[in-house]
Amino acid sequence: MPIIDTDVHESFASLQDLVPYLADPYKDWIASGAWRGFSQPFCYTSPGNGNRADVKSPDGSPSASDPNLLKELVLDKYDITYAVLTGYFYPTMLKLQYGLASALARAYNDYVVDHWLTVDDRLLGSIQVFARDPQAAAREIDRMADHPGMRQVMLPVVDDIAYGDPHYRPIFEAAERNRLQVAFHHTVLAEGPYGMGLHYMERHALLPTAMMSQVISLICNGTFDNYPNLKFIVLEGGFTWLPSVMWRLDREYRQGRVEVPWIKKLPSEHCRERLKLATQPTEDLRSDEWEKIVDLMGTDDILVFATDYPHFDFDDPDASIPHNLSADLREKIMWKNAASFYDLSMPPASAIAAE
C-alpha cells in the first residue's frame, strides 16, 4: 500500500547553515553568532530528549539535519511514497526584529530546497514564512510557490496568534493564488488556555487545545468562506476532538449567526469539506474506537497519516494504524486523503495492485 507521511521534520545542523542564504546585515549577524537561535522553554523527558533515542547521525549532528538518515529510517524502511517536510525552525516565533525574521524564513526555504528537496523526489516541502509580517510572508510565498516540491504554507502555532484574525489575510490570499494548501503545526511556544501547565506532560497533552483554537478562529473569522479554494491541515494536534468542535460550532452558529453572517455554511460542513487532521500521535485507539471517531466525524476523508519523524512520539506506519480497520478506511488514512489534499500523482494502479 502507498504511504504518504504528512509530517516529517527536517532541520539544519546549526544556524550557520543559513549564512550562505542570507544577505547583509543579517548574514553578518548570524555568522558572528549574534543570535543563538530558539530554545524550548522546558526540558524534554523522553530518552532521546524530544527525538527518538535510536536516531543518531553518524557524525553526531542533530538527527533531523541528515536527509540520508531520513531516507534510511523512514522513506526506504517503510517504502514511503511521499513525505512532507514540515520544519523545525519557525521564524514566526521571533517577536521582534521583523526584517531579520523574514530574511531567516527566506534563507531557510532556500536551504531546504538545496539540501532536502533535491535529495529525494519523495520529499515535498512547506514554505516557511514570518507570519507576523503578513505582506512579507505573502511575498515569500509568491517567491517560493513555483518550486514543484512546495505544496503548502506552514503557519506555526505560537502563543499569541490566532490565524483567523483578518491581519493574516495576505498570507491566505497568497496561498490561494498560488494553489497551495495551508498547514498548522505547533511550536515550543504553543500553549493551552492557561499556559503550558507545570509539566512537560501537561504541556504536551494541551497541544490539541491550541489547534482547536486555530480551527475555531479560522471558521469564526471567515477564512474558510473568504478563500474557497484553500484547504487546511492540522499536524500533530490530535483528531479525536474534531466531532466535539464541529458540534459546538454548529450549535453556536445556529444561535449566533447574527454576529457572524459571513459564515456561509455550517462550520461542520467547512471542516468536512476542507480540513485534514494528521493522525500522529495516535493515542493508541483500538480499531473499534477509530471507526467510532470516523463515524462521528461524518466522513472518512479527514484523517491523514503522519510519523512525526524524528520525534520521540513517532508513529510507526506498520503499527500505529490498526490493520483490522476496514481496507477502505486504512487506505484513506495511509495515503488517499493526503494524495487528494496535496493533489499528488500516485504510482500507477498496476503497481498498487501488485502489492
Partner 1 sequence: MARHTVCARDDIVVGELTPVTLDGGISIVLFRSQFDEIRAFSGVCPHQGARLEFGCVSHLTQGDEANMITVDTGVQILRCPWHGFAFDMQTGHPVVKNAKRQHLRLKIYDVEIDNDQVVVVA
Q: Return the axis-axis angle of helices 287-297 and 242-256, rounded to nearest 10°.
A: 20
- No. of helices (H) and no. of strands (E), the chain: 13, 9
Contact map string, positions 165 to 194, toward partner 1, x by CB under 8 A = -x----------------------------
Tell me if 228 contacts partner 1 by CB under 8 A. no
Tell me if 92 contacts partner 1 by CB under 8 A. no
Q: Which of 6, 11, 268, 282 binds partner 1 (CB under 8 A)?
A: 268
Q: Which of 11, 221, 282, 337 binds partner 1 (CB under 8 A)?
A: 221
Q: Which is nearer to partner 1, 243 or 317 (CB)?
A: 243
Contact map string, positions 270 to 299, toward partner 1, x by CB under 8 A = ----------------------------x-
H-helix segments, 280-344:
287-297, 327-331, 337-342
Could you tell me which residues are beta bridge partners of residue 186? 157
Q: Which is nearer to partner 1, 65 or 268 (CB)?
A: 268
User: Using CA atoms, how far apart are residues 15 and 59, in angstroms rounded to an integer?
Assistant: 17
Q: Return the axis-axis angle of helices 267-274 and 200-220, rounded to nearest 10°.
A: 110
Smallest distance, partner 1 to C-beta of residue 336, A: 24
Could you tell me which residues are beta bridge partners of residue 126? 152
Q: Which is nearer to partner 1, 262 or 351 (CB)?
A: 262
Question: What type of residue is 228?
Answer: P
| Strands laid side by side in the 232-235 sheet | 4-8, 82-85, 123-128, 150-157, 181-186, 232-235, 275-278, 303-304
Residues 114-173 that bind partner 1 (CB under 8 A): 166
Count of residues in the chain: 355
Q: Which is nearer to partner 1, 269 or 313 (CB)?
A: 269
**Which range, of 19-27, 217-225, 230-238, 344-352, touches partner 1 by CB under 8 A?**
217-225
Q: Which is nearer to partner 1, 257 or 286 (CB)?
A: 257
Smallest distance, partner 1 to C-beta of residue 268, A: 8
User: Using CA atoms, how far apart are residues 113 and 123, in angstroms rounded to an integer?
Assistant: 10
Cell of 253: 452558529
**Which range, of 22-30, 128-136, 229-237, 259-267, touches partner 1 by CB under 8 A?**
259-267
Tell me if 262 contacts partner 1 by CB under 8 A. yes
Smallest distance, partner 1 to C-beta of residue 253, A: 6
Residues 301-340 that bind partner 1 (CB under 8 A): none
Report the greatest alpha carbon distance in the chain: 61
Tell me which H or E stretch contains 6. Answer: strand 4-8
Residues that bind partner 1 (CB under 8 A): 166, 221-222, 225-226, 250, 253-262, 266, 268, 298
